[in-house]
């Protein structure tokens, strides 16, 4: 049985990607990095699988392509 997709927070995303906080948010706005998902009133995180896909191939990752792959 596959592992459930975990939600990871910003500190983990920063460590895994090596990007700065401002670069992550700029790339989200450009559509070249996975967007956050809301997990509570004041909290958000990323799907671990989205971050893993981005780390595996950051140059070709794009929001529209990721949506097609997850359908």
The pTM is what? 0.80
pLDDT at residue 64 is higher than 90? no
Report if residue 1 sits inside a domain: no
As a three-state string, the secondary structure of the chain is CCCCCCEECHHHHHHHHCCCHHHHHHHHHHCCCCCCEECCCCCEEEEHHHHHHHHHCCCCCCHHHHHHHHC
pLDDT at residue 11 is higher than 60? yes
Report if residue 66 sits inside a domain: yes
Report if residue 54 sits inside a domain: yes
Residue 46: the pLDDT is 97
User: Please, how many CA atoms are within 13 Å of residue 13, restricted to the half-sphere of its CB?
Assistant: 26
What are 63's two structure tokens? 């929001």
Based on the structure, what is the number of domains in the chain? 1
pLDDT tens digits, one per residue of 20-58: 999 999 999 999 999 999 999 999 999 999 999 999 999
| Domain encompassing residue 65 | 7-70
């Amino acid at each position: 049985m596959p592992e459930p997709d975990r939600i990871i927070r910003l500190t983990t995303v920063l460590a895994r990607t090596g990007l700065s906080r401002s670069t992550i948010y700029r790339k989200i706005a450009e559509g070249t990095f996975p967007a956050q998902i809301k997990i509570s009133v004041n909290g958000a995180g990323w799907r671990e699988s989205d971050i893993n896909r981005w780390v595996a191939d950051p140059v070709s990752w794009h929001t529209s392509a990721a949506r097609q792959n997850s359908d």
